[in-house]
Amino acid sequence: MSENKKSFSEKLKQGLEILKQSPKNIYDKTKKEILNNIDRKKKAIENFKTLDKKEKITFVKEKLIDNALYIIIFLFVIGVSIYNSKFISKASIINIVNQSAPRLIMALGVGGIIVLTGTDLSAGRIMAFVSIITASLLQSTDYASKMFPSLKFSPWLILLSFIISIIIGGLFGALNGLVVAKFKLHPFIVTLGTQLILYGLILWYVSLGSNNNQPLGGVDRTYGNVILGGFTLGSKENGIYISNYLWYALIITVIMWTVWNKTKIGKNMFAVGSNEEAAAVSGVSVFLTIVVVFTIAGVLYSFTGMIETVRVGSNSPSTGVEYELDAIAACVIGGVSFMGGVGKIRGIIMGVLLLQIVQAALVFLDLTSAPQKMVKGIIILLASAIDMRKYIAKK
């Protein structure tokens, strides 16, 4: 017993030592990575200089094709800014960032699944289900069309709904992952099934109590402040208002970056996505990796759901429609390869922002949702074509 205690205290001491050193280690490693990147770029420039004229042209042509999407969007944004200077105004930029934040959280979840060469069509419905449940639990006590009139609002309900949301998201994510990993079914069909189940559950849930299939609104101001509250950066007249949910999105992004780049599960995820058999031979538990990645994704969708409950205001069964498609599109635009094993968090951030910028630009051109969808579709086609081209070139 005393030996056990001793070994435990020794382990605790060792753990504390590692914890003390870890920020320095992380700093050193990051510094080393940055320096390596700079060296690599310097070498690439030197190599470019040694090429003959024909090779230089080929190199530039290849780079142009690889970055064609970004170049076109950049030129389009310049065009729209000239057409309407309000597009690059502070208000417009803040609006784009605000719109992007919840979608980014969802895209981070979908991104992990795409790295595994999968996809998730149930993301939007998981988000909607969480959004509706949160709204129903957190309606103001004096709200006229309250779904559960006997349920009085209390700040404790915020914590309860948070826990319930995380559990729901995690459970549906884990269910997707379990079916995919155990039965080797394609995630496309598994998540399609889950999506329909969730839609049924949403329709059933909104008919409960005295709601009578009405959209759920009237979320209490206390919870509203938790999400939409914030502070103004700079003066009150000309400052930038930063909502709390932007911070939440930022924190989640940092956590996901750490998970992808610094943890075992992140490394396993890329290994399984690159080559499942090789990963299994190397001792990676393919089953566990798939389940964990899907579960994390489910939890991230529920975070988006909790934000959208307040941001959207009126939560109905149509909430979350096409959210998953936007998330998948953002990942593909951001370079998360459908061929698996490739993807970066900064790419996903870039993808979400680019998609949102294009959407905002089309609104500035007074276009309806029809051309917006068309453009989004073409962007996805081009992004996947470039992705395939890169894959073939690498081979």
| Site residues, another protein (CB under 8 A) | 65, 68-69, 72, 76, 79-80, 83, 116-118, 186-187, 272-273, 275-278, 286, 290, 338-340, 358, 362, 365-367, 371, 374-375, 378-379, 381-382, 385-386, 388-389, 391-393, 395
Nearer residue to another protein within complex by CB, 69 or 174: 69
Nearer residue to another protein within complex by CB, 198 or 279: 279
Nearer residue to another protein within complex by CB, 72 or 160: 72
Q: Measured between alpha carbons, how far is 371 from 135 in angstroms, rounded to an integer?
A: 32
Cα distances (Å, whole numbers) of residue 78 to 55, 88, 376 = 31, 9, 19
Q: Give backbone dihedrals phi and psi of 232, rounded to 5 degrees, phi first.
A: -100, 125
Supply the minimum distance, in Å, between the C-beta of residue 302 and another protein: 25
Supply the minimum distance, in Å, between the C-beta of residue 101 and another protein: 25
Q: Which helix (H) or strand (E) holds 231?
A: strand 230-233
Say if residues 265 and 118 touch (Cβ distance below 8 Å): no
Supply the minimum distance, in Å, between the C-beta of residue 283 and another protein: 17
Nearer residue to another protein within complex by CB, 12 or 385: 385
Nearer residue to another protein within complex by CB, 99 or 289: 289
Q: Measured between alpha carbons, how far is 159 from 222 in angstroms, rounded to an integer?
A: 12
Q: Please list the alpha-helical segments (H only) found in 84-208.
A: 90-115, 123-137, 155-183, 187-206
Supply the minimum distance, in Å, between the C-beta of residue 58 and another protein: 13
Q: Which helix (H) or strand (E) holds 240?
A: strand 240-243
Nearer residue to another protein within complex by CB, 241 or 391: 391
Supply the minimum distance, in Å, between the C-beta of residue 365 and another protein: 4
Supply the minimum distance, in Å, between the C-beta of residue 233 and another protein: 33
Long-range contacts of 380-384 (CB under 8 A, 24+ apart): 380/328, 380/329, 380/332, 380/333, 382/68, 382/69, 383/69, 383/329, 383/332, 383/333, 384/332, 384/338
Supply the minimum distance, in Å, between the C-beta of residue 337 and another protein: 11
Q: Please list the alpha-helical segments (H only) found in 51-67.
A: 53-66
Contacts of 235 (CB under 8 A, 6+ apart): none
Supply the minimum distance, in Å, between the C-beta of residue 358 and another protein: 8
Nearer residue to another protein within complex by CB, 92 or 161: 92
Nearer residue to another protein within complex by CB, 111 or 273: 273
DSSP string, 252-269: HHHHHHHHHHHSHHHHHH
| Beta-carbon count within 10 A of 322 CB | 12
Supply the minimum distance, in Å, between the C-beta of residue 227 and another protein: 34
Nearer residue to another protein within complex by CB, 19 or 392: 392
Contacts of 52 (CB under 8 A, 6+ apart): none
